[in-house]
Structure 1
Amino acid sequence: MDAPHVLCTEEEITALVHRFYDRIRQHPNLGPIFNGHIDDWPAHLDRLVDFWSSVLLRTGRFSGAPMPKHVALPGLNAELFRQWLALWRTTAAEQANPALAEQAVAAAERIAQSLWMGYQAYAQGVDVPQSL
Structure 2
Amino acid sequence: MSRDPHPKAPGLPASVTEPMIHDLVHAFYADVRRDPLIGPVFASHIESWDEHLEKLVAFWSSVTLMTGRYKGRPMAAHIAMPEISRPHFERWLALFRARARAICPPQAAALFIERAERIAESLHLGISLHRGEPPGVTPPNFRSEPEPIG
Task: Please give the range of the TM-score, normalised by the shorter of the 2 chains.
Answer: 0.7 to 0.9
Per the alignment, in what secondary structure is the counterpart of residue 18 of structure 1?
helix
Cα distance in 2 for residues equivalent to 1:60 and 1:33: 28
Aligned residues: 124
Please name the residue that 1:79 is paired with.
87
Match of 1:9 among 5, 12, 17: 17
Cα distance in 1 for residues equivalent to 2:15 and 2:85: 32
Normalization by structure 2: what TM-score? 0.78
Alignment of 1:2-81 (within 5 A): 5=13, 7-81=15-89
Cα distance in 1 for residues equivalent to 2:126 and 2:104: 33
Please name the residue that 1:128 is paired with.
none
Q: Is the 8 A contact 1:50 1:62 kept in 2?
A: yes
- TM-superposed CA distance for 1:5, in Å, is 4.0
- The runs of 5 or more residues in structure 2 that have no matched partner are 1-6, 134-150
Please name the residue that 1:130 is paired with.
none
- TM-superposed CA distance for 1:6, in Å, is 6.1
Normalization by structure 1: what TM-score? 0.88
Cα distance in 2 for residues equivalent to 1:42 and 1:99: 28
Q: Is the 8 A contact 2:32 2:38 kept in 1?
A: yes
Q: Is the 8 A contact 1:67 1:118 kept in 2?
A: yes
Q: Which amino acid aligns with 1:123?
A: R
Per-residue CA deviations over 1:59-101 (Å, capped at 9, x if unaligned) read: 1101121101101101211111100100000000102421210
Per the alignment, in what secondary structure is the counterpart of residue 42 of structure 2?
helix
Identity of aligned residues (%): 42
Runs of 4+ in 1 over 2 A off after TM superposition: 3-7
Q: Is the 8 A contact 1:47 1:62 kept in 2?
A: yes
